[in-house]
Each structure stands twice: as C-alpha cells, then as structure tokens.
Amino acid sequence: MQSGTSAFLNAGSPPGQVFGSSLGRPYLNLRPRVDTSAGSSTTTYTFASPTPAAGWAMVLGDVDADQVRVQARRADGGAASADDLGFAGSFNACDFGTPRTAGCAAGVGDAPAWDAGTQTLTGDTATATTGAFADTVGATGWFRPTTPLSSITLTYTRREGAPVFQTWFAAESRGLSGTVVVPAGGAPCTGGTTTARLLTADGTEVASAPVVDGAYAFDGLALRDDYRVVVDPPAGCLVEGDPEREASAVVEQPDQPDAVVGPFEVRAIVPAPVSGTVRDTDGAGIGGVAVTLDRPDGTAATTTTAADGTYLLDDNPVGDGYVVSIDVPAGYTGDDAREPFDVTAPAAGQEPAPVTGQDFVLAPVAAEPGTPPGTDPTTPEPTPPTDPPATPVQPGGGDDAGDGADAGDGAEVGDGAAGDDPSAGVQTGGAGGELPDTGGPSPAPLALGAGLALSGAVVLLTDARLRRRRRL
C-alpha cells in the first residue's frame, strides 16, 4: 500500500473532477510475478458486501507498455459484461496541470485503449507498429461500474520491460439526515436520549447518532439505496408507527448534499401499556406481525411487531376483559389469541401497572427437507439462478518497454521469488488465474484508505508482486 504522496491523480484529472484529488491517499502498486510476455499476474479483489450500483470508481494507472484484462462478478453471481464495468475513458494523468506526479511533464499524451470485446486495457497503441513499446508516464484508464459487484479480477500482462501498474478505488459519499417529532396530543420524552441507528439490508449496523434538538445525521455514506433507519426511544417512550424506515443515500440532485428521511414520531408512553413478543420455536423474534388489542369498551388498537418481534400498545384505561390477538403469518402455525386479562385500578396517586408478557410462540409449518423455516409450503419456491462457470483467465500477449528501477514511495515489498508470500493478507499462486490453497492463513481485509474505500472490507488475492513505485 503506497502513501500517495508522489504518485496521485490531481483534481483536474477525470476521476479528480468527480472524487477530488488522491494526493496523500493510499493506493496499490502491482506487477507481474513473471516478467515475460507469456506470463501474467492475476489479482482478485473480493468485497465483503456487494458494491453500490453507482457512485464509485476503479482507476488503473501506468498502463503503457503492458495490458490488463478486467473481469468481475456481479452480486447475483453472473459474469459482469463490459457495460457492467462502465469503462469511463482513458487519459494521461500528467496532462491536467499541477501538482503532478513525480516524473510527469505536460503534454505526455500517451493513453491506453479499451477493447470492450475482450475487456482488455492495452497501453502504448500509438507505437505498436514500430515493435517497440515505449515506457511512458501517466497512462491511465478508469471504470465506473453500473451494477453491484462482488469481486473484480485483473489479469496483468507484461509486453516488454519490467512494468508496474497502480490501482485506486474511490467512492462518492452522501450524508443522510432526519428528524424526530412529538405527535399531536402526545407528551415529549424526558429523562433519556433517543438514538437513531443506520443499518444495511442484511441488518449490519453502519452508524448510530443521538437525536439532538429533534434531529440526527449520518455523514460519509456510500451511495446505497438499501439502508434502513431505526429509532430507539429511551425507557418510558415509544415510536408511534413503524420504528424502522427504508432509506437511500442515492439522491437525484447532484447538488443536494444530503438524503432526507421523513420524520419519526416519538412520545411518552401513556398508561397502561400492554406489551409482548412474537417468537418462533427457536426463540427468534418475528417482525411485521399484525397485532390487535380488543378493549372492554369495544374499541381496538393495532400495531405490527418490530424486527425483533416486540410490540407495545398504550393508553389503555382500567378495565376487565382485554384480549391480544395476532394474524399468524404464512409459513407458521400457532395460537392467534391470548387469554383475556385486566388492567387493574392502581393505588391512590399511582398509575395503572404495565401489562407485560403477552407473548406468542409460532412453529414453522412442516415442509419438505431443505425448505427454510417460515416458508409457506403451498407457495412454490423460485428456482435459484445458476452461477455460470468462471471464464478462464488467459495470459495476454505482446511486448512492453521496461519501467526501470522502482523509486519514490518506499522499499519494494517482496522480491517475487517462487514461493514467496509478498505481503501479509496476500495469497500467491501459479499462472492462468488459478490461486491454490497455500495452507496459510486466510487473506486479511484490505483497507483502501480513508475517503477512498468502498463500504465494507476488501480481500485481495494476487499472484502479482507488490511493488512500491513513484510513477502513475
């Protein structure tokens, strides 16, 4: 991982105009382990969770006397097409004013060519007919993928010399904010703090923030449309309506700094509250279950269970013969009503006591072996998509002029000798894209630097040599 102090993309470059300068931000240097035109290196970036569908980029620098084949897997497991990869263009990073990378001069002009058919970025096409592939500075291509990806594989081939290429990742970010209000007729919460939590679709908590003066905000979010905001009120208070909302950090107006979530209504609980939980036979809460409380006076109150299966209905006067019932969801079986209970009169000067423990336990309906619990057996399961076989990665051809000695950002990591592990968290393997099990530890998450990393960890598998080098 390089520091980005001597090799960088300035704010005038095409990626810099979208994401800002990369000066001082980390990037990776890679080169083929075998420095022949018949050899290649294969590097795979595997994302802990699929990338956003937009709002990020991958930049490949110093692709001059060499070539890179770019392949990827979509989040659905299919092979990404050239359109999915979103090639955004090629340029020379030296040609956009100062500050410039060390070794740059204005007017270099060399830029790689993209072949969508083979998904290959090839450098130094201008002098290909001469048979000598000049090693220049700053030849760069970049991509803005248009679909969520689970991994990216780069097959890098030397054409001549001892080439090195750089990889940058960059992501746009947005803020997401919202408000919490007291509903009409409700009493404000006292004696505690309401907290807002931001989750992804799989329930992973991304951030949390206190509600201050009725507002909360999350900053620096990847552009995803599958966030959820959950509001947790303090003891003695409740969220009126759904305590969880879908939220998107993808906004339609580029000049709009934040995405906004509609207001949550939070108020003090009015005695006497009635509460309980709907669980399955393993003890897991079942969210989204409709709950009805029939009152002695003939009125009824309704709500739905939260994601953890809990519910609460308040403002219940003293009386006999309350009954809680639920709509048993498809795929489960069990009692749909509790025994009647009373809200008893309190002692003088006291409030009615809360009624708790109005719980339900539901069992999954018996299904064919392999059917997930809670699945309605009368509804046929969709056939899962078939993962197409991975496309074999073949070494590229051609020549390449030498890159010369490496300098600039520090010492070389690993000498590239057969069997060397060039860096912690990196697995090495043979040619042709096959990465065998080395018997060592699993690759560690690779942090790509503040402001440049995508959401979640990235695992790097490579048989390339990790090099430190000054040039773009």
Is the Cβ–Cβ distance between 243 and 231 less than 8 Å?
Answer: yes
Does residue 31 sit in helix, strand or coil?
A: strand
Rounded distance between C-alpha atoms, residue 334 and residue 113, angstroms: 64
pLDDT of residue 462: 55
DSSP state of 289: -
Give per-residue pLDDT as tens, 343-363: 999 888 888 899 999 999 999
13 touches 91 (CB < 8 A):
yes
Show the tokens assigned to 303: 């709500």
> Which parts of the chain have pLDDT scores under 70?
31-39, 107-108, 125-134, 160-163, 251-257, 367-472
Note the pLDDT of residue 411: 30
**Which pairs count as long-range contacts for 229-232, CB under 8 Å and 24+ apart, including other chains?**
229/176, 229/178, 229/196, 229/197, 229/198, 229/199, 229/261, 230/196, 230/197, 230/199, 230/307, 231/180, 231/194, 231/195, 231/196, 231/197, 231/264, 231/266, 232/194, 232/195, 232/196, 232/197
What mean pLDDT is reported for the chain? 78
Q: What are phi and psi of 367, to 5 degrees?
A: -140, 175
- Which three-class secondary structure string do you get for 347-377? CCCCCCCCECCCCEEEEECCCCCCCCCCCCC
pLDDT of amino acid 430: 33
DSSP state of 466: E
pLDDT at 16: 94
Residues 87 and 71: their CA atoms lie apart, in Å, by: 12
* Sign of torsion over alpha carbons 100, 104, 107, 113: negative
pTM of the model: 0.63
Q: What is the pLDDT of residue 287?
A: 94
Give tens-digit pLDDT for 17-75. 999 999 999 888 876 666 666 667 889 999 988 898 888 999 999 888 788 999 999 99
What Å distances lie between residue 82 and 64, 69, 114, 305, CA to CA?
A: 21, 11, 10, 44
